[in-house]
């Protein structure tokens, strides 16, 4: 009987990146469009990448088996 490789979810590999130390990083929501009416403080707080929570790591292992 053949064993098949599990495929990585295409949308997940575009949204998450793994650092050299093994942390899984994501972007904060709300920075794509309609930014003109948002305050500068809101936009500053949404800059950069953030580590995902430990509970979400278990869900992500199903979508990205290589982690």
- What is the total count of domains within the chain? 1
CATH for 18 = 4.10.410.60
In a domain? residue 2: no
Query: What residues make up the domain containing 32?
Result: 10-63
Q: Share the mean pLDDT of the chain.
A: 92
**Residues 23-48: pLDDT tens digits?**
999 999 999 999 999 999 999 999 99
Q: Is residue 59 part of a domain?
A: yes
**Considering the domain boundaries, does residue 3 fall inside one?**
no
What is the DSSP track for 18-66? Answer: E-TTS-EEEEPSS-SS--TTS-HHHHHHT-SEEEPPHHHHHHHHHH-TT
β-pair partners for 25: 17, 51
Global pTM value: 0.76
């Amino acid at each position: 009987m053949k064993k098949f490789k599990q495929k990585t979810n295409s949308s997940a590999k575009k949204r998450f990146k793994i650092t050299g130390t093994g942390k899984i990083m994501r972007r904060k929501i709300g920075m794509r469009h309609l930014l003109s009416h948002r305050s500068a403080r809101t936009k500053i707080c949404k800059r950069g990448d953030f580590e995902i929570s430990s509970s979400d790591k278990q869900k992500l292992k199903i979508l990205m088996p290589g982690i």
